[in-house]
Amino acid sequence: MNRLLIAAILIICAVPLYAHAQQPDMAKLKTDAQKVVSIISHDKVKSQIYCEITDLGQQIDQEKEG
């Protein structure tokens, strides 16, 4: 019984450490962001939609704060 309790405690403590180790790679995030910018910048319609989505996101954030 004591061993089972110790094993359960160790597993519970290990889960947050595992999740913390799963942080995204900054180089990959940068590459992905550059891809998005290159896709959007070559198409005016996509640029307009992106701007509208960004504005909408800012409006939602302001409503949540206020």
pLDDT digits (tens, 9 = 90+) for 5-59: 777 777 777 777 666 656 677 888 888 888 888 877 788 888 888 888 889 999 9
Q: For residue 23, give the DSSP letter.
A: P
With 0.85 as the threshold, say if the pTM is over it: no
Distance separating the N- and C-terminal Cα atoms of the chain:
52
Contacts of 41 (CB under 8 A, 6+ apart): 47
**The tokens of 20 are what?**
């913390």
pLDDT at 20: 61
pLDDT at 58: 92
